[in-house]
């Protein structure tokens, strides 16, 4: 083998290959996001209703990671990268509202001052 052909073969093998495939982000099903957002927003603060809807959301196989992340972003205003983190953000919003309502009831609208 000639040295020129050897160098050309070696540089071609060492060069990074471009992938012709591009990974497209999965499409978010806005109808599912809107449906669950409406139901969850209406049930915020009601422990029994919210838990039922939240458990339905977690069990629904039609709703995937992109939808849950979009739902968390719409409900909490902050995004998440993982499905579990997004579900936790949704649950924490509900819990903080429940705690706030309980504290308000306990103080009867009075302040300590």
pLDDT digits (tens, 9 = 90+) for 80-102: 899 999 999 999 999 999 888 88
Task: Judge whether residue 48 has pLDDT over 80.
Answer: yes
pLDDT tier for residue 49 given thresholds of 50, 70 and 90: very high
| pTM score, whole prediction | 0.71
- Name the H helices within the chain: 3-14, 30-43, 47-59, 65-76, 83-107
- The half-sphere exposure of 15 on its side-chain side, counting CA atoms within 13 A, is 9
For residue 62, the Cα-to-chain-centroid distance in whole angstroms is 15
Mean pLDDT of 35-46: 93
Mean pLDDT value across the chain: 86
pLDDT of residue 17: 67
Higher pLDDT, 109 or 77: 77
pLDDT cut 90: percent of the chain above it: 50
């Amino acid at each position: 083998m000639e040295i020129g052909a050897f160098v050309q073969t070696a540089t071609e093998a060492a060069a990074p290959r471009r992938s012709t495939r591009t990974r497209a982000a999965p499409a978010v099903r806005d109808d599912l996001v809107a449906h669950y957002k409406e139901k969850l927003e209406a049930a915020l603060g009601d422990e029994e209703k919210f838990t039922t809807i939240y458990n339905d959301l977690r069990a629904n196989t039609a709703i995937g990671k992109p939808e849950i992340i979009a739902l968390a972003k719409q409900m909490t205003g902050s995004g998440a990268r993982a499905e579990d983190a997004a579900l936790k953000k949704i649950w924490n919003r509900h819990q903080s509202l429940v705690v706030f309502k309980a504290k308000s009831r306990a103080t009867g609208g009075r302040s300590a001052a």
